[in-house]
Amino acid sequence: MANRDDVLSDFTIEEEMSPAVLKDYLQRYPEYTKDLLALFNELSLSDLEATEANLPLETKAMTAEALRVQHVRQSLFGNGVKELARELGLPRAFFMGLNANIVHLGSMPVEFLKGLAASLDVRLQDLISGMQQGDGQAVAMKSDSKPSKEAPIEFWDYVGQAGLAEEEQRALQKLLAGDGSD
């Protein structure tokens, strides 16, 4: 039976740290499975951290921003809209229409945008960027005339057309009220 410390030491100095190498060690030393898995996980994480540390600062910032904007898009127009709607007490369709192509972004009250950004735990700029990108779904249709882009409607017109129930209107007013911080 091989010495545990020798096996783990040999494992750490392997030229390539890959699942194939791990599998080989697990087959040869099944009695150290738990230790080998823990060590592989630790070494993989440290490799990942080292790679990330070597990324240029601009790349890290851009990646973080892109992830936040993606979170906004998923929350408003994707899989997360159901949870967001339930959390804020507004219908899913209301959030899906907050695409800048539908509602004029400049007409949205700042308190509403701030409250929505706070609910999503993102910066205001990330929220706006996500709304400007919309749902990203293109619709192909045939038409007899040239396509023309319809102007987005004003926020309060959109709210009026949304047909919100009384409880949903109260939820919207709560979101519009903000927390008083600027």
User: What does the alpha-carbon distance between residue 103 and residue 155 come to, in Å, rounded to a whole number?
Assistant: 6
Give pLDDT, residue 53.
59
Average pLDDT over residues 58-73: 71
166 vs 72 pLDDT, higher one = 166
Whether 12 and 99 map to the same domain: the answer is no
Whether 34 and 68 map to the same domain: the answer is no
User: Range of 18's domain?
Assistant: 4-53
Average pLDDT over residues 14-42: 85
Give pLDDT, residue 28.
92
Report, in angstroms and rounded to the nearest whole number, the Rg of the chain calculated over CA atoms. 25
3-class DSSP assignment, residue 153: strand
Facing residues of 103 across strands? 153
The answer to whether residue 182 sits within a structural domain is no
Whether 35 and 121 map to the same domain: the answer is no
The answer to whether residue 149 sits within a structural domain is yes
The answer to whether residue 112 sits within a structural domain is yes
pTM over 0.85: no
The answer to whether residue 15 sits within a structural domain is yes
CA angle 113–116–119, rounded 5-degree value: 150
Residue ranges with strand state E in the chain:
none
Whether 103 and 123 map to the same domain: the answer is yes
